[in-house]
């Protein structure tokens, strides 16, 4: 937690509802994905204004590969296009672009664009904008377990020494604090494999707003709601009697 406990240091957003937004307008699903760019701007700007340190955007899950290939390739092209159109601005605003997930699964073009954007903004000290791409919480834990198993098999680690920290430090982005607040749009109330290990004590906020309609004011509503929550982490709250 940062200095001001009423502000989340790390916000995660499950950006859902693009397809339904498009359908409501008689458009193709991909038009919903296209319209998502504006909402990403609003979320990034809003986090900047409220001094949120880390914003993780769930953009594509390990399960989303099961979608029709035309939709998948459109989303991958959008990733390249988003970076092309926004890196200059993000860089100027001190945003550090990062990514989490099985990035090797991404097609070569978007992966290269992503790597270039990350390299270019690596020294920035503003908001960490983390794109979750081909991300799945279970895959992340599995990948950590594989690393640990191979260290054990090489006698670099013994099973009796394993701690929670052994696992945390082998996740994709070990330096990033757990998300304090996870927002999901479109009315669905589930995590869909987002940050499973890290969300153990996250506050959850659900809104019916579809992702392409998400604006700064919706983010601020979620942050205000968060400020009123009492986080106990299994202990007693500070104001509880004795």
Interface with Mg ion by CB under 5 A: which residues?
16
CA gap 82, 36 in Å, rounded: 10
| Minimal distance, residue 168 CB to ligand IPE, in Å | 23
CA gap 151, 148 in Å, rounded: 5
Which residues are registered as beta bridge partners of 13? 57, 183
Nearer to ligand IPE, 86 or 186 (CB): 186
CA gap 129, 12 in Å, rounded: 10
Q: Do residues 202 and 178 touch, judged by C-beta distance below 8 A?
A: yes
CA dihedral 27→33→38→44, nearest 10 degrees, is: 160
Question: What six digits make up the tokens of 81?
Answer: 């296009």
Q: Give catalytic residues, as residue numbers.
A: 16, 64
Nearer to Mg ion, 16 or 203 (CB): 16
Please tell me whether residue 74 binds ligand IPE under the rule CB under 6 A.
no
CA gap 209, 222 in Å, rounded: 12
* Non-local CB neighbours of 214 within 8 Å, separated by 6+ positions: 15, 39, 42, 43, 185
Binding region for ligand IPE (CB under 6 A) out of 10-18, 39-47, 117-125, 137-145: 10-18
Q: Do residues 61 and 193 touch, judged by C-beta distance below 8 A?
A: yes
Please tell me whether residue 195 binds ligand IPE under the rule CB under 6 A.
no
Q: Binders of ligand IPE among 162-191, rule CB under 6 A?
A: 186, 188, 190
Please tell me whether residue 44 binds ligand IPE under the rule CB under 6 A.
no
Nearer to ligand IPE, 20 or 50 (CB): 20
Neighbours of 132 (CB within 10 A): 27
Question: Which does residue 89 touch among Mg ion, ligand IPE, none (CB within 5 to 8 A, set by kind)?
Answer: none
Nearer to ligand IPE, 84 or 188 (CB): 188
Question: What six digits make up the tokens of 231?
Answer: 């986080």
- The single residue among 11, 47, 59, 83 that binds ligand IPE, judged by CB under 6 A, is 59
Binding region for ligand IPE (CB under 6 A) out of 45-53, 56-64, 140-148, 158-166: 56-64
| Minimal distance, residue 200 CB to ligand IPE, in Å | 19
Please tell me whether residue 14 binds ligand IPE under the rule CB under 6 A.
yes
DSSP state of 63: G
Residues that bind ligand IPE in the complex, under the rule CB under 6 A: 14-20, 58-61, 64, 75, 186, 188, 190, 192
């Amino acid at each position: 937690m940062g200095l001001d406990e009423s502000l989340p240091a790390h916000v995660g957003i499950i950006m859902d509802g693009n397809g339904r937004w498009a359908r409501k307008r008689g458009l193709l699903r991909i038009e919903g994905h296209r319209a998502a760019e504006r909402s990403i701007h609003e979320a990034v700007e809003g986090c900047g204004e409220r001094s949120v340190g880390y914003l993780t955007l769930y953009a594509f899950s390990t399960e989303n590969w099961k979608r029709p290939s035309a939709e998948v390739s459109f989303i991958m092209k959008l990733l390249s296009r988003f970076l092309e159109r926004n890196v200059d601005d993000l860089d100027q605003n001190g945003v550090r672009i990062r990514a989490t997930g099985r990035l090797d699964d991404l097609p070569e073009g978007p992966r290269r664009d992503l790597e270039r954007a990350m390299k270019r903004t690596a020294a920035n000290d503003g908001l960490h904008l983390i794109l979750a791409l081909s991300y799945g919480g279970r895959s992340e834990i599995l990948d950590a377990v594989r690393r640990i198993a191979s260290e054990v098999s090489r006698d670099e680690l013994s099973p009796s020494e394993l701690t929670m920290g052994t696992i945390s430090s082998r996740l994709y982005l070990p330096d990033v604090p757990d998300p304090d607040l996870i927002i999901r749009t479109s009315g669905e109330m589930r995590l869909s494999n987002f940050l499973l290990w890290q969300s153990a004590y996250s506050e959850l906020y659900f809104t019916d707003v579809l992702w392409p309609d998400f604006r700064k004011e919706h983010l601020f509503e979620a942050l205000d709601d968060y400020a009123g929550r009492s986080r106990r982490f299994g202990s007693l709250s500070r104001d509880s009697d004795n």
